[in-house]
Amino acid sequence: MSRAVERNVVRKDGAAKAAGTARYVGDLALPGMLHARTVRSSIPCGDITRLRLGFDTSGFTVVDAGDIPGRNVVPLITDDQPCLAVGRVNHAAEPVLLLAHEDRERLLAATVDIEYRPREPVFDAERSDRVFKRVAIAKGDPDEGFRHADVVIEGEYRTGHQEHLYIEPNGMLAVPENGGVTVTGSLQCPYYVHRALTVLLGLPADKVRVVQAETGGGFGGKEEYPSMIAGHACLLALKSGRPVKLVYDRAEDMLATTKRHPSVVRHRTGVTRGGRLTAMAIDVLMDGGAYCTLSPVVLSRGCLHATGPYRCDHVRIDGRVVMTNTPPNGAFRGFGAPQTQFAVEVQMERIAEALGMDPARLREINALRPGDTTATGQVLGDDAAAREVLRSAVARSGYRRKRREYRGTNRGIGLSLFFHGAGFTGSGEVKLQSRASLELTPAGVRVLVASTEIGQGQRTAHAQIVADALGIPYERVEVAAADTARVPDSGPTVASRTTMVVGGLLKECAAEMRKALGGMTPAAYLRAHGPLVVTKQYEPPPGLAWDDDTYRGSAYGSYGWACDVIEVERDPVTEEIRPVKVTSAHEVGKAIFPLGARGQIEGGTAQGLGYALTEEVVMRGGAMANAQLTNYIVPTTLDTPPMDVVLLEKPYAHGPYGAKGLGEMPFDGVAPAVVNAIRSLGIDLREVPATPERVMAAARIRDSRLRPGDHERASARQAGFGIRDSSITLRQRRRTAARKPWTGRR
Amino acid sequence: MRTAISPLALLQPRSLRDALRMLRDEGPLTPLAGCTDLYVGLNAGALADRRFLNIWGLDALRGIELRGDVLRIGALATYSEIVRSADVRRLLPMLAAASREIGAVQIQNRGTIGGNIANGSPAGDTLPVLAAADALVELRGLDWTRTVPFTGFYTGYRASIRRPDELITAVNVPRVEGAQWFRKVGARSAQSISKVVMAGVRAGRPRVALGSVAPTVVRARRTEDALASGAPIAEAQRILQEEISPIDDIRSTVAYRREVASRLLAQFWAATR
Amino acid sequence: MTAAYRPIVFTLNGRRVSLRVHPLKRLLDVLREDCGLTGTKEGCGEGECGACTVLVDGRAVNACLVPAAQAAGAKVVTIEGLKGRHPLQRAFAEHGGAQCGICTPGMILAAAALGPRPTMDEVRTGLAGNVCRCTGYEGVYRAIQKQEAGSRKTEGRRQKPEATGRKPGARRRAPNSRIPNPEPRIPMLRRRRT
């Protein structure tokens, strides 16, 4: 019998999806079902002074905050977000009122008039004084590091919002039953929704049931938001006593649900003439939107990846995420790491420009190696693979040759080196206490986990792991629906943890079950002994220590490593930048489902190309002004280039069959590689999206390379330093009175 | 935000005559052809109309044929039919080029040239082509037929000389002499509304028309004069800037549109030398 | 009240249907609600994403933009009309053409309508109206190419289709009714030898 792991098995849900028989929440209907609609704030900040129902309410169910049986909150990290606004609204499109009716036409025709007393909104994150969270990471002594630098480079880098644009919008179907409620819907984390509903509805855990329907994409956009929409559907269902279906159309989904956090990241980097990093001072600012949601964790991960995959003895990272009166931002593939790695990779490119050095060589010199220490003091294991992916992508793409050939043409080529810590940060996995179960069936076994298939291949990878660990064919492994009435809490389907952490638990379950079977077939065992269910709970790998207060220790059990080389072509008439080719080397520990791994890399890359070039959320008055697909530009087949993906494997000792996390990493490095390719054309761009309008307005890169004699010229001046570009400083290598350290804090 | 449809009415004529009679006697009615903008407009709250006339089945408005020196394109010709037409590709390739870049294949299979004209969006991609080609629009009422120059069809933003009791029935394009040129600049390679769109004809007297740079399609006649008189391209570009009035909107900026319009002119001129 | 509407008659997956629905009801809603065929999906309602692609008289259109009245007299084919047996369906399932699957029905129909032996350029152009957020399109191209090659290089045993519950109120076909083969105009794709 052939192994399943590492084989391109037929994915578990492929046939149903291709046949059109897979059931998404929009496909479900129940007798007596009501349709639902959300009435939302039209102003970004202010008080509701009057609310009037301008329609005949017969047959309608109307719900406001006063109908909430439990607490009016969507619990997450800080319970600051109401499920329905009362009095005060803090962002445009904030939910205020819920309506349901069995006739969708009457529902659409109902008008609700809301009057407000507006307050002054805060839209500029740089001016907001409400901080959700601060993070500080310190290693060594940056002052000392800057003293040893020959060159100091400063830069500021910006990223904007991004909309997930899962092709299936958010939706829930809530049914009042069994003295409680069952809700089925499009979601990534059934137990997040479960917990939120017990709090909102004031119901005990066994009276709330959450079931994942087939879900048409998530990317993090269905990590926390489903708790809100499920709450709405359930409130209507409980008040009306009828099933309620609440499915957003695209415009509402774009307007009201979470987005990627915009960021401003400032770097000050000291480097020797030979290209060694001596000091990194990094300031990270993220815009959290109106409520806290997951912003502290996004900031945390962003800061933990802010140095990029590089070694540096002296590091200072200061981060803060702040409130603005815009719809709350939330989880999105990469979760903070794309923003900070965008900044560091463009900063590295500018350092290479200043030194007149090959950008790949600069990465090679500074790339983290096994045994090196990260900014938090984590010592990297043998599975650290930064140089391997760099060399692989550089060689395979012909990077150096093409850089030479493309000089002076409208073709550019750029690279990025990046990494991604898999699983929850620090002690997060321990706190989750994830559990997984296997249940013996007459044909084989059934996987019982709260992990959700959202397209990434979860069902398939879990089945492959279990099949091999149990020694049975892949086809005999069934994966149950993620239904809180049936499966244990395996933690959320986020943070690239589903294969590595939950798959690892399943492998342990299977090993124990295999021992119990003792060579009997499942059917024989069941006849002889009756049912068999094996459950395992997460135990951290040995030696992982993390301190949440000092931000020191091992932030993640393992890291994946990757390198993108992207070629672009500039249109001199329109300044459009077209991606022409992507070469991407990813080290993932072990690709359980190679086709799936490739698919995640290709898909993440396309999403990254959108982030880099065309996906702009236009905010006006704190609301998304381009909330239509015709105006929010995602890549089509004509916008994506051929992609050459290389998978490398340096097995992680504590991942199932060596697997590390992989779902998010492909996104992290695309934007900087694109911008670095644009920079190779001589265009000084430091933000995304690199729309043609921005490319047209960008300055040319001034020749900032050091020339012989620069050092001497600098040392001749007393007052300042020899400066060619205002953001590049030559520093004489001798003891001087220490310049006040730049922290970037206001 | 979805629109309720039960308050909407759709009349279904059996023939062209029937349709024209309905327009005259049972109006106001908004004709519906391929409907690629109908629901978008309704859902955005941009379309206040409530009574519609289904002309999709009127085969009299279909067909592309050459009548002597004039290419006659039925109002209900879809973009796909235009792209596939050997006559169009031979005689009016810039129209095939424009049609190929509208939306994607699903839109092209339903959207019609008559709809593009009647909708009158400043960003309509066939409109600069028709302007540069000096096309003629055939309008019919119950008792009359009239032909108007396309360049005189619009009176303002989404406003035209079409009477409420008329239908656009065809576009007639007399033979176009000289090299034809078309370029659409959008936010991506398919499914995008144009930021700037230009059609040009290089003949003894060049013809240049642009979309998305004014409330309606612009025929840049003074620019044409400059080019015809042998002025340097920089001078023609300067005059072009006076003939267009782009705006900042969700899709792009004044600065970008102006600069790209200038560059398109230069590209057209160099490419058709 | 539906009885007040004139019947709209068209051919759906080879079978004649007659429906009394509002003439401006979107074909997408008619298919999903009145015909019980939920395989055609709504992704945007604007005709931008292509998740609602169906074939009307052999040509790919966005069902979210077609008023029911304009389907009269037409031959409409939805993903259900392929009955899970079109070679593209198997290829998508086995070669990474589908991840989350929500764009897949529309993508498969648009691919089926490409005509014989499409080049990569024709594939890209022909699918430009079908947005996929999961695959980066590479898996879609692989599936189309593998299907063209008639590849059966799948490993492992042939998988049983997932059991799915029937939606309550879904139209049941009479036991003896025979659905004819998919539209003969849906061609088999063949890879052009380069």
From CA B162, how far away is CA A83, in angstroms rounded? 51
Tens-place pLDDT, residues B211-264: 999 999 999 999 999 999 999 999 999 999 999 999 999 999 999 999 999 999
DSSP assignments along chain C, one per residue? -GGGSPEEEEEETTEEEEEE--TTSBHHHIIIIIS--TTS--S-SSSSS-TTEEEETTEEEEGGG-BGGGGTT-EEE-GGGGTT-SHHHHHHHHTTS-SS-SSHHHHHHHHHTT-SS--HHHHHHHTTT---SSSTTHHHHHHHHHHHTT-----SSPPPPPP-PPPTTPPPPPTT--PPPS-TTSPPP-PPP-
**ipTM field:** 0.96
Q: What total number of domains does chain C contain?
A: 2
The answer to whether C84 contacts chain A (CB < 8 Å) is: yes
Chain C positions in Cβ-Cβ contact with residue A664 (cut-off 8 Å): none
Return the CATH number of the domain spanning residue range A428-537: 3.30.365.10
Q: Give all chains having 3 or more CB-to-CB distances under 8 Å with chain B.
A: A, C
State the average pLDDT for chain B. 96
- Closest CB to A614: pick one of B104, B188, B190: B188
Kindly tell me if the per-residue pLDDT of A742 is higher than 90. no
Question: Are residues C57 and C28 located together in one domain of the fold?
Answer: yes
Reply yes or no on domain A131-163+259-426+552-700 having CATH 3.30.365.10. Answer: yes
Question: Are residues C77 and C88 located together in one domain of the fold?
Answer: no
H/E segment holding residue A40: strand A34-40
The answer to whether B47 contacts chain C (CB < 8 Å) is: no
- Closest CB to A108: pick one of B4, B250, B251: B4
From CA B206, how far away is CA B227, in angstroms rounded? 7
**Which pTM does this prediction carry?**
0.93
Q: Do C70 and B12 touch (CB under 8 A)?
A: no
Length of chain B equals: 273
Chain C positions in Cβ-Cβ contact with residue B32 (cut-off 8 Å): 67, 70
Chain B positions in Cβ-Cβ contact with residue A697 (cut-off 8 Å): 255
Kindly tell me if the per-residue pLDDT of A100 is higher than 50. yes
**Residue A398: how many other CB atoms lie within 10 Å:** 15
A725 CB-near residues (< 8 Å, 6+ apart): A354, A702, A704
Tens-place pLDDT, residues C119-165: 999 999 999 999 999 999 999 999 999 886 554 443 333 333 333 33
From CA A290, how far away is CA A448, in angstroms rounded? 37
Q: Do the domain assignments include residue C143?
A: yes
Closest chain C residue to B190, measured at CA: C128
Q: Comparing A340-349, A411-420, A732-741, which segment has the lowest mean pLDDT?
A: A732-741
Kindly tell me if the per-residue pLDDT of A353 is higher than 80. yes
Chain A positions in Cβ-Cβ contact with residue C83 (cut-off 8 Å): 19
Q: Do the domain assignments include residue C166?
A: no
User: How many Cβ pairs closer than 8 A exist between chain A and C?
Assistant: 223
From CA A73, how far away is CA A57, in angstroms rounded? 27
- Closest CB to A639: pick one of B7, B44, B188: B188
The predicted model gives A346-350 an average pLDDT of: 98
Q: Do B43 and A251 touch (CB under 8 A)?
A: yes
Pairing of strands A623-624, A619-620: antiparallel
Kindly tell me if the per-residue pLDDT of C55 is higher than 90. yes
- Crossing angle, helix A337-355 and helix A295-304, to 10 degrees? 30
Question: Are residues C66 and C94 located together in one domain of the fold?
Answer: no
First to last CA, chain C: 58
The answer to whether C124 contacts chain A (CB < 8 Å) is: yes
The predicted model gives B160-182 an average pLDDT of: 97
The predicted model gives C8-32 an average pLDDT of: 98
Chain C positions in Cβ-Cβ contact with residue A12 (cut-off 8 Å): 159, 162
pLDDT computed for residue A74 by the predictor: 98
Q: How far is C171 from chain A (nearest CA, A)?
A: 13
pLDDT computed for residue C164 by the predictor: 37
pLDDT computed for residue C115 by the predictor: 75
A61 — phi, psi (to 5°)?
-105, 130
Kindly tell me if the per-residue pLDDT of A727 is higher than 90. no
**Omega within 30 of 0 (cis) for the link into B232:** no
pLDDT computed for residue B77 by the predictor: 98
Q: Do the domain assignments include residue C19?
A: yes
Look up the CATH number of the domain holding residue C142.
1.10.150.120
Q: Which of C1, C32, C53, C61 to mutate to test the interface with B (most CBs of B within 10 A)?
A: C61
Tens-place pLDDT, residues C172-189: 333 332 222 222 222 333
Return the CATH number of the domain spanning residue range A32-121+165-256: 3.30.365.10
Question: Are residues C106 and C141 located together in one domain of the fold?
Answer: yes
Q: How many CA atoms lie less than 13 Å away from A634 in the CB half-sphere?
A: 25
From CA A88, how far away is CA C30, in angstroms rounded? 41
Q: Which domain holds residue C113?
A: 84-148
Question: Are residues C65 and C119 located together in one domain of the fold?
Answer: no
pLDDT above 90 covers a percentage of chain C that reads 71
C165 CB-near residues (< 8 Å, 6+ apart): A23
Q: Where in chain A is the domain with CATH 3.30.365.10?
A: 32-121+165-256, 131-163+259-426+552-700, 428-537
The predicted model gives A713-717 an average pLDDT of: 34
Tens-place pLDDT, residues A492-543: 999 999 999 999 999 999 999 999 999 999 999 999 999 999 999 999 998 8
Q: How far is C6 from chain B (nearest CA, A)?
A: 11
User: How many Cβ pairs closer than 8 A exist between chain A and B?
Assistant: 67
pLDDT computed for residue C149 by the predictor: 59
Q: How many CA atoms lie less than 13 Å away from A526 in the CB half-sphere?
A: 12
A734 — phi, psi (to 5°)?
-155, 170
Question: Are residues C76 and C100 located together in one domain of the fold?
Answer: no
- The contact set of B with A (CB < 8 A) is 1-7, 40, 43-44, 104, 185, 187-193, 250-253, 255-256, 259-260, 263-264, 267
Q: Do B44 and A109 touch (CB under 8 A)?
A: no
Chain A positions in Cβ-Cβ contact with residue B185 (cut-off 8 Å): 574, 576
**Omega within 30 of 0 (cis) for the link into C161:** no
Q: Do B185 and A631 touch (CB under 8 A)?
A: no
Q: How far is A604 from chain B (nearest CA, A)?
A: 19
First to last CA, chain B: 50
The last residue of a domain, from among C51, C81, C111: C81
Question: Are residues C27 and C73 located together in one domain of the fold?
Answer: yes
Question: Are residues C65 and C132 located together in one domain of the fold?
Answer: no
Chain C positions in Cβ-Cβ contact with residue A630 (cut-off 8 Å): 46, 48
A143 CB-near residues (< 8 Å, 6+ apart): A279, A738, A739, A741
Kindly tell me if the per-residue pLDDT of A472 is higher than 90. yes
Look up the CATH number of the domain holding residue C15.
3.10.20.30
